[in-house]
A = this chain, B = another copy of it.
Amino acid sequence: MEDSEDYLRKAIALAYSNAEKGGRPFGAVIVRDGRVIASAVNEIVETGDPTSHAELNAIRIASRTLGSPDLAGCSVFASGHPCPMCMAAMRLAGIKAVTYAYSNEDGAPHGLSTAAIYDDLAKPFAEQAMDIRHLPVRLAGKPDLYAGWRQQQH
């Protein structure tokens, strides 16, 4: 039976292997019922896609494997501290546990910490570095977007 440290070693090995190929040093695996159902690396360098983090890619693979956006019962093992995007993605997917090996403190001297983004996103919207605006625009002559959608669900 593999334990958390074994799964982390798999994620770290993926990170090393990705770095050897010129990618960023991040890997992740997703485990369900003691079995690895998804493995992924950071593919930003390869794809140019800024959302292509190891954990997000692993979530995408796991959801395809299970045929569902609901990953309840899955655990994530990530080589590095997940960024706020990936942490939120895990929550949206119903994932209840994440374990990581390299901390943001480990990453900071090498430009690999997301602590500053965490700090900024924790501020009230009006104080964040990004300009976040609410303009309550509506399309004329249409039923309410959300109420209409909800009615369809029944």
B residues in contact with A147, CB < 8 Å: 110
Task: Output the least CB separation between A2 and chain B (Å).
Answer: 13
A109 and B79 alpha carbons, distance in the complex (Å): 39
**Contact assessment for B89 and A50 in the assembled complex, using a CB-CB cutoff below 8 Å:** yes
B residues in contact with A88, CB < 8 Å: 83-85, 88, 117, 121
Supposing A25-B146, A130-B95 touch, asked if A137 and B50 sit within 8 A by C-beta, the answer is no
Q: Which of B44, B91, B99 contacts A117 (CB 8 A)?
A: B91
Q: Which of B63, B91, B92 contacts A48 (CB 8 A)?
A: B63
Contact with B along A76-92 (1 / 0, CB 8 A): 00010101110111111
Q: Which of B15, B84, B99, B136 contacts A103 (CB 8 A)?
A: B136
In the complex, the count of this chain's copies comes to 2
A37 CB within 8 Å of chain B: no
**Contact assessment for A70 and B85 in the assembled complex, using a CB-CB cutoff below 8 Å:** no
Number of interface residues of A (CB under 8 A): 79
Given contacts A97-B131, A97-B133, A102-B146, 13 further A-B contacts (CB under 8 A): A12-B137, A12-B138, A12-B139, A13-B139, A24-B149, A50-B69, A51-B60, A85-B88, A85-B92, A88-B117, A99-B133, A101-B137, A110-B149
Q: Chain A: residues with CB nearer than 8 A to chain B?
A: 4-5, 8-9, 12-13, 15-16, 19, 22, 24-25, 44, 48-52, 56, 59-60, 63-64, 67-71, 79, 81, 83-85, 87-103, 106-107, 109-112, 117, 120-122, 129-139, 142, 145-150, 152
